[in-house]
Amino acid sequence: MLSNTLAKSCMRSRPLFMASRPMAAFSTGTYDNILVDKKEGGVALVTLNRPKALNALCYALFEDLNDAMMQLDKDPEVRAIVLTGSEKAFAAGADIKEMEPRMYPDTYMTDMLTWWDQLNTLKTPVIGAVNGYALGGGSELAMMCDILLAGEDAKFGQPEVNLGVIPGMGGTQRMVRAIGKSRAMELCLTGDMMGAEEAASRGLVSRVVPVDQLVDEAIKVGAKIAKKSAPSIAMAKECCN
Ligand code: HXC
């Protein structure tokens, strides 16, 4: 279980209030909390990389993720993005330790919510490859992907209620749309987790794949999409969403 000791803090600390950064200021290159790998065939692989904290979505990780996704979206060589985590966790939610001292207005005044919203504006299709835990904000991030594949041991859940908060980034709506109100509410109100097979049978994910083949399989899906007309793909994505 989550220990009471401090969760692994992010590589960079952020002030509570930050002005929005202009789009032109997006940097290139490497990141502290994610890995970006442009593969052949028009697919970019983005890996959440805070394994010791089960990829908890701290401020700096989300800044890295947003920066990378926005850049990849503008890169004509990239026609599909695969988003994944580690074998143990896609992401175990927002960073609880970072979140704990903040009231909602504090978060509202940072760029965090803007970054989440910006991920909804990507024209490039995003294929989520979920192994292990996808909880809270991790589940919400997974559900923002356009196509989801799950490893056999994937576990989805919205345990925010255990912390006295609610899924804050669209989890309530996306989960209801994906699997129906009753089961979605059972997950949101009890904090229980749902396994990969159930997630597939209820339509949350396209299919279940062996853990060690998951990322390759997601890249194959991306490569197939990458061969189609980019405008058609972008328009189809927008209409489906
Ligand atoms: C910060 C986290 C974390 C989290 C795990 N860790 N989840 N740190 N935020 N959300 C850290 C632990 O502190 C620990 O660090 C290390 O990761 C390993 O976790 P353990 O608990 O020791 O692992 P395990 O026993 O295998 O249990 C795994 C787990 C559990 C079931 C996933 O970690 C857990 O319940 N995590 C919290 C899940 C959760 O409540 N998510 C929702 C967050 S709220 P140390 O340093 O001790 O080794 C949310 C709101 C979203 O997401 C709002 C929108 C942004």
Which residue among 1, 2, 61 is best mutated to probe the pocket of ligand 1, counting the most ligand atoms within 8 A of its Cβ?
2
pLDDT at position 240: 96
Report the chain's C-alpha Rg in angstroms. 17
pLDDT tens sequence across 175-187: 999 999 999 999 9
pLDDT at position 12: 53
CA distance to 58, 59, 105, 129, 143, per residue, from 123 (Å): 25, 24, 30, 19, 16
pLDDT tens sequence across 1-33: 444 333 444 655 443 333 333 333 344 469 999
pLDDT tens sequence across 40-95: 999 999 999 999 999 999 999 999 999 999 999 999 999 999 999 999 999 999 99
The closest alpha carbon to 194, from 151, 144, 149, 158, belongs to: 158
Residue nearest to atom 13 of ligand 1 (CA): 7
Pocket of ligand 1 (CB under 6 A): 1-3, 5, 7-8, 53-54, 56, 92-97, 133, 135-137, 159-160, 163, 168-169
Catalytic residue among 80, 94, 129, 150: 94
Across 197-212, average pLDDT? 98
Residue nearest to atom 40 of ligand 1 (CA): 159
pLDDT at position 11: 53
The closest alpha carbon to 106, from 16, 173, 27, 190, belongs to: 16
What whole-number distance in Å separates Cα of residue 160 and Cα of residue 77?
A: 38
Across 158-167, average pLDDT? 96
pLDDT at position 106: 85
pLDDT tens sequence across 128-162: 999 999 999 999 999 999 999 999 999 999 999 99
Q: Which two tokens stand for residue 160?
A: 């925010």
pLDDT at position 177: 97
